[in-house]
Amino acid sequence: MLLWRWFCALAVLPALFMFSGCATGSSPGPSPFSRAAPAEKNGPAAFTLEIKSPRPVEQYLLRHLELLRYRELSDLDTSELNRLLTAAEANARDLLGTLGYFSPSIAIELLDTPADAASLRKVIMTVEPGLPVRIGSVDISFEGEISANAASNPAVATQTANIRGLWPLPPGRPFTQAEWDDAKSFALRGLTSQRYPTGQISDSRADIDTDTQSASLTLKLDSGPAYRFGPVQVSGTQHYPPELVTRLAQVPTGADYDQQRLLEAQQRVADSGYFDSVFMALDTAGNPQAAPVTVQVREAKLQKIVLGVGISTDGGPRLSVEHTHHLLPVIGWRAVSKASVDRQSQSIGSELTAQPDADYWRWVTSALLERKDTNAVVTNSQRLRLGRTQTGERIDRSYFLQYDQARDRGVALDTQASSITANYAWTRRNFDALPFPTRGHGLSLELGGGTTLGSQRDPFLRTRVNWLGLWPTGTVTQAEQADGLRVRGGRLALRAEGGAVLAREGANLPSTQLFLTGGDNTVRGYGYRDIGVNTASGASTVGGAAGAKGAPVAGRYLAVGSVEYQHPITWQGRLTDWETAVFVDAGSVADKPADLKAKVGVGVGARWRSPVGPLNIDLAYGVAVKRLRLHLSVGFSF
């Protein structure tokens, strides 16, 4: 206890938050005219410009018309201005052509405005853009190995079909130069992202027929040779063997080149924590059938300390300190030690992890000391674990031996129990994008069996299931924005959780092997671990409402369910990074399945797509306790 107080005193450490930003801008390229505008204005402007045209055309010309660069020239005479106006008409026609208007009517008028103190002359440009050119036909063809392999290789045939099928400029759509350029780049990415990294555009044409106002698009893609992943060549390692990078990357040697698989391999190495930077590329200079994968790394420092400050509605303010040693002497394992303090729990623990083997399995051992104070019940627990774990892109597996000891003390309550168990855990994540998923599902399963320790030894089984499903429900689109098309939709989120411990009725089980629920990420509208078993009746109860029957404690059976709808928020026609949410949660804990009585919470919330992940703000009403509760949480985890 003295050691714990000493740690709590040291835990009051300052937090430093640093925000940095940058802004970039672009300036027009060199002008074809002979003179450039001075940096500062002296006297009235040489002229003002008024453009009479549909607003989108007007705004485009006001951004890009070269003539505007000369309106601040105080010594610009009329004859020179007339020459600029002649060039401005040609410049306007070129600009309108990029928007798909190839037969515009343009009239330019120059007026003297001696009474206007702001300028000496006024230029009025009247533009009738006419009918836009629309795409009449599209011809996408291939040459190189892809054309020869498409007939015999179904995967190659699918690739060519996808390039044609996902072409973003179908017949009937208005033609613009910017979209034409983007479409060509999109098709090229579809070619070079799989099998053909050296592919290129060998021919592209947009034939404009001004009589029919139609454009015939022709695109020919040269695939070059097909490439396969070859050996991995690592550079930059100092403390770790190159084989560690190879095992972390898991590049499928001999498989067809796939840019996404290469990026995923690079991300695996970066996420390992051993390296500060990772750059991975395919070397296309050698044999295409065994192209080397070059990996350049910069190792992270062997040791680091991370100080953390946080707050949650469950535990209040939180302080934490974490120390990592990536390469322990002699054994070469990684050690991560962490201590944290908040209003309801204090913990200190350490985890030692071996480097992964060729199948990405690694040995793990850990120890954890924890104290929890909830609902007038204080739980002091210890846990020791030894086993192996495998972390994949979508599936995680682990098996381990675990020792648990827990002592619970409260009003008329003082119990102590310990156990040893053998466990297996399996998790599958199939979400479209993290940390902001819009569709997909996740499933987690835990199964363990063991025996209690002490004078009375009782065997028991423990299982737990957790599931989350996301379904999109329509889209909200914003097309007129500087950064292009934005599409985001609402979604329905369904969540279910269940658990059971099977043992004889009088078995003395550690509370850490049993269940409590309630709080930010379970049943909103209730406090953290507020839903449990009544110490007197054994039926499900809620913290703060148990009264004379006693405070809720952990139970053998758990059932939780949630339905939530999330929808994007728009402001003045623009998508924002905020979403609304409405939800219904229900959960229960009991020592017998027949005693499971749902405690319901209903509420509304907001979601912010913050730089560190989703920020969830929920206001929930607990039906059983008849009061409102605010819940705050950050991040998406499954």
Q: Which residue has the tokens 């063997």?
A: 241
Q: What DSSP assignment string belongs to 283-341?
A: -TTS-GGGEEEEEEEEEPPSEEEEEEEEEETTTEEEEEEEEEESS-TTT--EEEEEEEE
Residue 596 confidence (pLDDT) above 60: yes
Residue 536's pLDDT is what? 63
- At residue 477, the pLDDT reads 57
Q: Which residue has the higher pLDDT, 393 or 340?
A: 340
Task: Say if residue 455's pLDDT is above 90.
Answer: no
pLDDT given for residue 18 in this prediction: 31
User: 209, 76, 236: which is closest to 136 by C-alpha?
Assistant: 209
Q: What is the DSSP letter of 453?
A: -
Q: What pLDDT shows up at residue 113?
A: 82
Cβ count within 10 A of residue 428:
15
What is the mean predicted confidence (pLDDT) over 148-172? Answer: 91
550 pLDDT band (50/70/90 cuts)?
Answer: low
Q: What is the pLDDT of residue 485?
A: 43
Residue 174 has pLDDT above 80, yes or no: yes
Lowest mean pLDDT among 20-34, 42-56, 108-122: 20-34
pLDDT of residue 562: 97
The arrangement of secondary structure in 134-222, i.e. its CATH architecture, is Roll (3.10)
Name the more confident of 315 and 26.
Answer: 315
CATH class, domain 229-299, is: alpha beta
| Bigger pLDDT: 223 vs 455 | 223
β strands within 453-529, DSSP E: 459-472, 476-478, 486-488, 491-502
Q: Is the pLDDT confidence value at 611 over 90?
A: no
> In the prediction, which pLDDT does 46 show?
83
Q: What is the average pLDDT score of the chain?
A: 86
- Stretch 597-623: mean pLDDT, rounded? 94
**Measuring CA to CA, which residue among 466, 505, 529, 509 is closest to residue 592?**
505
**H helix or E strand, kind and range, residue 580:** strand 574-590
Q: What pLDDT does residue 4 have?
A: 36
Of 531-535, 597-601, 621-625, the one with minimum mean pLDDT is: 531-535
* pLDDT greater than 60 at residue 630: yes
- Looking at residues 78-101, what average pLDDT do you find? 88
Provide the pLDDT confidence category of residue 580 given band limits of 50, 70 and 90: very high
**Whole-number Å distance between alpha carbons of 22 and 382:** 48
Residue with the bigger pLDDT between 375 and 458: it is 458
Cis ω before 28 (30° cut-off from 0): no
Instruction: State the Cα angle at 458 between 456 and 459, rounded to 5°.
Output: 155
Pick the CATH number of 438-634 from 3.90.1860.10, 2.40.160.50, 1.10.340.30, 2.30.30.140: 2.40.160.50
Domain positions in the chain are: 48-128, 134-222, 229-299, 302-344, 438-634
Q: What is the pLDDT of residues 250-268, one digit of tens each?
A: 999 999 999 999 999 999 9
Among 14-23, 88-97, 264-273, 282-291, which is the least confidently predicted range?
Answer: 14-23
Whether residue 435 is preceded by a cis peptide bond, meaning omega within 30 degrees of 0, is: yes
pLDDT exceeds cutoff 60 at 30: no
Which whole number is the average pLDDT over 30-52? 58
Pick the CATH number of 302-344 from 2.10.70, 2.60.120, 1.10.3470, 2.60.40: 2.10.70
Between 36 and 572, the higher pLDDT residue: 572
Token duo for residue 148:
């020869």
Q: How many angstroms separate the CA atoms of 272 and 360, rounded?
A: 12
Provide the Cα torsion 522, 525, 531, 535; round to 10°.
170
Asked if residue 197 lies in contact with residue 119, where contact means CB atoms within 8 angstroms, the answer is no
Q: Which residues contact 536 (CB under 8 A, 6 or more apart)?
A: 548, 549, 550
Residue-level length of the chain? 638
Whether the Cβ atoms of residue 278 and residue 264 lie closer than 8 Å to each other: no
Determine the 3-state secondary structure of 27 from DSSP: coil
Confidence of residue 43 (pLDDT cuts 50, 70, 90): low
Q: Which CATH number fits domain 48-128: 3.30.70.270, 1.25.40.10, 3.20.20.150, 3.10.20.310?
A: 3.10.20.310
Same CATH topology for 48-128 and 438-634: the answer is: no
Q: Where are the alpha helices (DSSP H) in 398-517?
A: none
**Of residues 29 and 321, which shows the higher confidence score?**
321
Q: What is the pLDDT of residues 520-540, one digit of tens each?
A: 999 999 998 899 998 666 677
Check: pTM over 0.75? Answer yes or no: no
Q: Is residue 36 pLDDT above 70, yes or no?
A: no
